[in-house]
Chains A and B, each alone.
Chain A
Amino acid sequence: MSKYVAKQADLIREMEEKPSTLKGDYAPREWWEMPVEFHEGNFCFPAKPEVIEDLGFANPRKWIATDDDWKLPDGWEKTLMDAMRERLKKYRSLKLYLDTCVRCGACADKCHFFLGTGDPKNMPVLRAELVRSVYRGDFPMVDKILKGFAGSRKLTREVLKEWYMYFYQCTECRRCSVFCPMGIDTAEITIMVREILQLVGLNNNWILAPVANCNRTGNHLGIEPHTFVQNIESLVDDIEELTGVSVNPTFNRKGAEILFITPSGDVFGDPGVYTMMGYLLLFEHIGLDYTISTYASEGGNFGFFTSNDMMRKINAKMYHEAERLGVKWILGGECGHMWRVVHQYMSTMNGPANFLEEPVSPITRTKFTNAKATKMVHIAEFTADLIRNNKLKLDPKRNNHLRTTFHDSCNVARGMGMFEEPRYVLGSVCNSFHEMPENTIREQTFCCGSGSGLNAEEYMEIRMKGGFPRANAVRHVREKHDVNALVTICAIDRASLPPLMRYWNPGVAVYGLHELVGNALVMDGEKKRTEDLREDPMTGFEEKEDDVD
């Protein structure tokens, strides 16, 4: 496995033997007296100077978190304090959430990073206190009269190190905000802190490199248009080989009815490509008039983990391209944070999209009234509607080799509220489905541990710890129901859960929902299917057996 994480046995020993706040061991000192220590495996590499320059961001330089001197620009304290004050004026949420925490502790053991690391500063309440303590110091009068009463402190280098460490040990998953009696959303605070840290050059290459790529080539992976087309065409070839059906996606085609946008991980990464094959089969099956853009070739939005402006810039391409191509509406693929951005931010940032029409399924004539303004429909909504109206010929037995469970992606769950559609689709395309324990699914779902741009190889230790609560829940259904397929509707999950499963639950593979749809679809003119889209043999469809159908 990765050199950035200890062997499983060693990590288990650490979890079980090392005293931790999670296990009820009292800390010998106050949290603000605990030192911050960077070591291999617990920080992400900073963005390369050329990437920073390319984006026009602050303080491009060579440095790393373990350096003593972070080469901060002169006056960094003022830059940060001013930036914080500006955002307090622009966001009621930030001000309200810094002001009103009563430290009731309901959030404390809800964060996957706290459950995985036992590090008290990963309790959402303390994560926010890292900022709150400085914010309270902004009202110095109280503290002068009663020293130590309000728990405030100055913004020092040590505090800055804490911010850099712990606001990159938050995946903005919002699980804490479900349990908070005030609805305090730590993600709001993380978003702001990450944004202001950019202003003094504290960043993460795994986020900023994709942002720079996306800006130039239209997608995070930096795939240029011709390669993008080639990749999808190679998937088309694979589909033909496996099913005997030739699908014909078009690119940048004007006058198509629908523009389809999905995360570029589905075009380039394993196992995302199998999900892409599923989409292509589905669209062929229903004869959808759609096109894929090489310019708006990214559904995801790492700008969301960078700054408000950057998120808006990257997202703007979707409407811009939809308008240029003259499509009626946009269909979006499976992705987590992409859907938080589309559902909660897109029309506010870049709307109104009056050049588009209110989405109507061309196959079932169903109006997607819930997407009336944004004019973008989630593929799971779209497919659920098709299945409900009997428009798909499905053979769920073709997924009999898979015993599935479903991982709700944080953003789709808590930033959109989509729970039933993917379950309905999954239930229609496979015969074996088992829910994970109730405190780990739906609105209480656990993050994969690598969301919000923390999927970097060098961050493996924290990822394996942060992903532990999710892995633990999967282990539960694996032991009880022999589950071997973890199905998800998020591209980051598809990239981050496979290593997590290899580490904690070997034998469980990760699937996109539409990969299973692709397996189950009975296509016109198909040849006899014996293998699924990833060329694993299907149970009951072996070559020599007589056709049971």
Chain B
Amino acid sequence: MKKILMPLGMVTVLALVPFVGVQYAGLDYLFGVLIPYLAAAVFLFGFVFRMADWLRRPVPYNITTTCGQEKSLDWIRPNKIESPSNPFFAAVRVLSEVLLFRSLFRNTRAELRKGPDLVYGSNKWLWLGGLVFHWSLLVIVLRHARFFFVMVPGLAEALDQYDSFFDITLPSFYVTDALALSAATFLFVRRVADAKMRLISLPTDYFPLFLIGGIVVVGVLMRYIAKVDVMAVKDQMLRLMSFSFDPPGEIGALFYVHLFLVCMLLLYFPFSKLVHMGAIFLSPTRAMVNNSREKMHVNPWRQPMKFRTYREYEDEFREKMKKAKLPVEKE
């Protein structure tokens, strides 16, 4: 339980800090200007550092995981994506992981029955839950662009339109809010409800789920219930975008909770498992081309090496080799 309560407590405290700070201590400037700049800077530099830190490390061997037929004889049909024979298809393979979660789509669930007998059932819930979660978050982030630019970019506008397709509330209800919350709930529930998941989960797995859940919940509250002044929010975001250090105007404390939790996510991001966002593009088992017999892959740290040569071998076994009528180099 500690694994769950600890991060839950942390997120609660993190939510209360700006509320108290703004409501009672008047720290609008700290939470509205200073912390957002800090968080954005840490996120940006942190993330770039993590990517660079991986990229500077060599990939000494070609370790593609081949999930399909290699390119070999002309008349055998290769699996171009699962066993890519050129960089283009390797890129397609990586993108299919990034955009469609290809490998999770393969997921099965093993069950040990009486007999004993192992059966494997298709199990796409994780794939679906994960996909919904990530895509919803992406759409949510993109449609927030309307707060960051004077002229709302066309894509953000379009997303906004489609997302509020179900025009049932005022302001109109976003589908992605519901999807993201449901998916986060699902991802949390499966961590507690499954014996395997409960065992492998760490506080660092629950924390980002609670944090993201908290951000969405507060966002929803702000929009539909304890409404904040949207124009004041946009003004403040535009000021931040122009690197202005002017103090923010009058905005509800709830907004600062939302913003602070986002800042915490940005701060946490580069130093946690959330960096999988960048890592997935680099994973050697997926990003490499399965052509290691066709084209020599170079190991940058390869050193000269000594091994037992034929001459040494023959020196030891010459007499026995001669008796066995094996040809020898030296009589």
Cross-chain contact B195 with A181 (CB below 8 angstroms): no
Task: Tell me the minimal C-beta distance from A8 to chain B in angstroms.
Answer: 10
Cross-chain contact B297 with A225 (CB below 8 angstroms): no
Interface residues of B in 1-35 (CB under 8 A from A): 2-3, 6-7, 10
Cross-chain contact A468 with B295 (CB below 8 angstroms): no
Interface flag for A92 (CB, 8 Å): yes
Which of B38-46, B53-61, B212-220, B257-265 contacts the other chain? B53-61
Interface flag for B324 (CB, 8 Å): yes
Cross-chain contact B110 with A22 (CB below 8 angstroms): yes
Cross-chain contact B293 with A226 (CB below 8 angstroms): no
| A residues less than 8 Å from B327 (CB atoms) | 252-254
Chain A at the B interface: SS class: helix
Cross-chain contact B273 with A90 (CB below 8 angstroms): no
Interface flag for B66 (CB, 8 Å): yes
Of the candidates B207, B271, B310, which one forms a contact with A320 in the assembled complex, judged by CB atoms under 8 Å apart?
B310
Task: Tell me the minimal C-beta distance from A57 to chain B in angstroms.
Answer: 16
Task: Tell me the minimal C-beta distance from B35 to chain A in angstroms.
Answer: 18
Measured CA separation A320–B188 after assembly (Å): 57
Measured CA separation A177–B6 after assembly (Å): 31
Measured CA separation A50–B308 after assembly (Å): 18
A164-200 contact mask (Cβ, 8 Å, vs B): 1 or 0: 0000000000100111111111001000000000000
Interface flag for B235 (CB, 8 Å): no
Which residue of A has the minimal Cβ distance to B320? A226
Interface residues of B in 197-224 (CB under 8 A from A): 197-205, 207
Cross-chain contact B299 with A349 (CB below 8 angstroms): yes
- Interface range on chain B: under 10, 10 to 19, 20 to 34, or 35 or more? 35 or more
| B residues less than 8 Å from A469 (CB atoms) | 118
Cross-chain contact A317 with B103 (CB below 8 angstroms): no
Measured CA separation A110–B67 after assembly (Å): 15
Cross-chain contact A349 with B302 (CB below 8 angstroms): yes
Task: Tell me the minimal C-beta distance from B87 to chain A in angstroms.
Answer: 16
Task: Tell me the minimal C-beta distance from B327 to chain A in angstroms.
Answer: 5
Choose among B117, B200, B287, B294 the residue with the greatest number of A CB atoms under 10 Å from its CB: B200
| A residues less than 8 Å from B66 (CB atoms) | 413-417, 443
Task: Tell me the minimal C-beta distance from A383 to chain B in angstroms.
Answer: 11
A380-423 contact mask (Cβ, 8 Å, vs B): 1 or 0: 01001100100000000000000000000000011111111100
Cross-chain contact B72 with A92 (CB below 8 angstroms): no
Which of B169-177, B237-245, B276-284 contacts the other chain? B276-284
| Residues of chain A at interface, number, CB under 8 A | 120
Cross-chain contact A225 with B326 (CB below 8 angstroms): yes
Interface flag for A24 (CB, 8 Å): yes
Given the interface pairs A224-B320, A371-B293, A414-B65, the reply to whether A472 lies near B118 with Cβ below 8 Å is yes
Cross-chain contact A229 with B82 (CB below 8 angstroms): no
Given the interface pairs A106-B107, A226-B323, A348-B297, the reply to whether A21 lies near B69 with Cβ below 8 Å is no
Measured CA separation A162–B97 after assembly (Å): 33
Measured CA separation A343–B314 after assembly (Å): 29
| A residues less than 8 Å from B231 (CB atoms) | none
Of the candidates A16, A177, A229, A374, which one forms a contact with B326 in the assembled complex, judged by CB atoms under 8 Å apart?
A229
Interface flag for B185 (CB, 8 Å): no
Cross-chain contact B67 with A443 (CB below 8 angstroms): yes
Interface flag for A426 (CB, 8 Å): no
Which of B73-81, B145-153, B156-164, B246-254 contacts the other chain? B73-81
| B residues less than 8 Å from A118 (CB atoms) | 112
Which residue of B has the minimal Cβ distance to A95? B57
| A residues less than 8 Å from B314 (CB atoms) | 295
Which of A143-151, A259-267, A490-498 contacts the other chain? A143-151
Given the interface pairs A91-B58, A225-B326, A251-B326, the reply to whether A183 lies near B283 with Cβ below 8 Å is yes
Choose among A16, A182, A352, A413 the residue with the greatest number of B CB atoms under 10 Å from its CB: A182
| A residues less than 8 Å from B282 (CB atoms) | 92, 96
Measured CA separation A418–B279 after assembly (Å): 28
Q: Can you list 21 A-B pairs with a CB-CB distance of less than 8 A?
A: A27-B199, A96-B283, A100-B275, A101-B273, A101-B276, A102-B276, A181-B104, A183-B65, A183-B280, A226-B323, A226-B324, A253-B327, A295-B310, A312-B307, A351-B296, A374-B296, A381-B72, A437-B120, A439-B108, A443-B68, A468-B116
Residues on A lying within 8 angstroms of B by beta carbon are 12, 15-16, 21-27, 30-31, 88-93, 95-96, 99-106, 108-110, 115, 118, 120, 123, 125-126, 129, 142, 146, 148-151, 174, 177-185, 188, 215-218, 224-226, 229-230, 251-254, 294-295, 309, 312-314, 316-317, 320-321, 324, 342-345, 347-349, 351-352, 366, 368-374, 376, 381, 384-385, 388, 413-421, 424, 437, 439-440, 443-444, 468-469, 472-473
Residues on B lying within 8 angstroms of A by beta carbon are 2-3, 6-7, 10, 50, 53-55, 57-73, 75-79, 82-83, 97, 101, 103-104, 106-110, 112, 114, 116-118, 120, 126, 130, 190, 194-205, 207, 271, 273, 275-276, 279-280, 282-287, 290-299, 301-302, 305-310, 313-314, 316-317, 320-321, 323-324, 326-327
Which 10 pairs across A and B sit closest by C-beta, in order of nearness? A417-B66, A417-B70, A226-B324, A183-B283, A100-B279, A183-B286, A183-B285, A439-B120, A417-B83, A92-B57
